[in-house]
Amino acid sequence: MLKTVLNTLCMLELLSQEGKPVRLSELARRLQISRSSAHRILQTLASRSFVAQDKVTRLYSLGLGAWFLGRNVLPERRLLDAAQPILEQINIDTGETVYLALLDGASVRYAYAILGTNPVKVYEEVGSLGPIHSSATGKAILAFLPSEVFNSILTFPLTAFTPHTITSRDQLLQETETIRKRRYAIGNDEMHLGVGGVGAAILDQSGNSFAAIGISCPTSRITEDFLTSLGQTAKTAAADITRLFTHLASYQRERGENAHDSPEFQSAGGDVERTPGVVDERANESAQAPPLEE
C-alpha cells in the first residue's frame, strides 16, 4: 500500500516536471513500474481530476484537480491582510457592499464582505459559493485564468439564473475578452434581478487570477457614469491588492519575518487584526440588515 501511494505521488511529480502530455509507456518506464500498474494509478488520479487524458492523442497530463490543489497552498490569510484596508476604504468612499471572492473549483467563494452603508444594500453570505459565470467577480476571475483551466471550467453547464445570465460559451468568451481589455467585469441582473456591480481580478506572480474584489449595489442606483466609476475603483484596488499580496509573499519568503512588520504593509494601514471569512461590521452599524429582496 505504501509503495502504491509513493508511486502515485511520483506520478504526479513526474507529470508536473514534464510540463507536457506524456504517453503511458513513457510514464511506466520512468517510474520503473509495469504498464498495468501505471494505468491503474492514472485511472485513479483521473477519477478525481488530478490527471487528464487527451481523447485523441491518449496522452496524459495534470488535470484541473491538481491545479486547484496547488492554488490552495496560497495562504488566504495573507490575501486578506493585503485586501482588507483597501476594501474598507472603498466601502467608505462608495457606501456600497464590497467583497473578496476566491476561485473555488468551478465556482467563487465569498471569503470576506463589508456591507454597504446606503439605505438599500445587497449582500452575498460570507462562505457561500456562487456560479463563476453569472457574477462580476466570477467573470473577472475567468478572464485571467490559464487557458487550460478556463476551458475546463467551461465544460460545466452555464445555468441561467435570470433572463440576463450568459449561457452561451461563445458569448462568455467574448465577454471575457472585453474584461481583459477593460480590466474589470460588469454584472447586472445576471445572478439576481435588481442587483448589479463590478469585479476586478487579483493576480498571482504569473499574471493568473485566483481571486477578485467586487462592488455590488441595487441596479436602481446604477447609471453608466456610476458604473464606470465603480469599475475604475475596482480595477485600481485589485492592482494594489495584487502588488501588496506579492510583496507580503516575497517579504516572508526572503526574510523569514512577519510580513505585517514590513514598511509597505504598515503604510497601507495594515495594523488591524484580520479574521478570514467574516463580515466586517465596523463600517456599518446596521450590518445585519437583510439582503435586497428580488
| Length of the chain as a residue count | 294
- Residue indicated by cell numbers 476561485: 103
Query: Mean pLDDT over residues 86-102, rounded?
Result: 93
Residue 76, classed as helix, strand or coil, is helix
CATH code of the domain in which 38 resides:
1.10.10.10
Q: Which domain holds residue 195?
A: 71-280
Q: Where residue 120 falls among pLDDT bands split at 50, 70, 90?
A: low
Shared domain for 7 and 135, answered yes or no, is: no
Written as nine digits, the cell of 99 is 467583497
Task: Assign 3-class secondary structure to 270-290.
Answer: CCCCCCCCCEECCCCCCCCCC
Shared domain for 187 and 275, answered yes or no, is: yes
Shared domain for 19 and 165, answered yes or no, is: no
- Residue indicated by cell numbers 487528464: 52
Considering the domain boundaries, does residue 285 fall inside one? no
Any bridge partners for residue 196, and if so which? 188, 217
Burial (CB count within 10 angstroms: exposed 0-12, middle 13-18, buried 19+), residue 105: middle
Domain boundary among 10, 45, 62: 62
Shared domain for 127 and 268, answered yes or no, is: yes
191-237 per-position pLDDT tens digit: 999 999 999 999 988 899 999 999 999 988 899 999 999 999 999 99
Considering the domain boundaries, does residue 108 fall inside one? yes
Shared domain for 36 and 76, answered yes or no, is: no
Domain boundary among 43, 62, 81: 62
Shared domain for 142 and 174, answered yes or no, is: yes
Shared domain for 132 and 218, answered yes or no, is: yes
Shared domain for 41 and 16, answered yes or no, is: yes
Considering the domain boundaries, does residue 230 fall inside one? yes
What's the total number of domains in the chain? 2
Least confident of 23-32, 63-72, 112-121, 179-188: 63-72
What percent of the chain is modeled with pLDDT above 70?
Answer: 79
pLDDT at 54 over 90: no
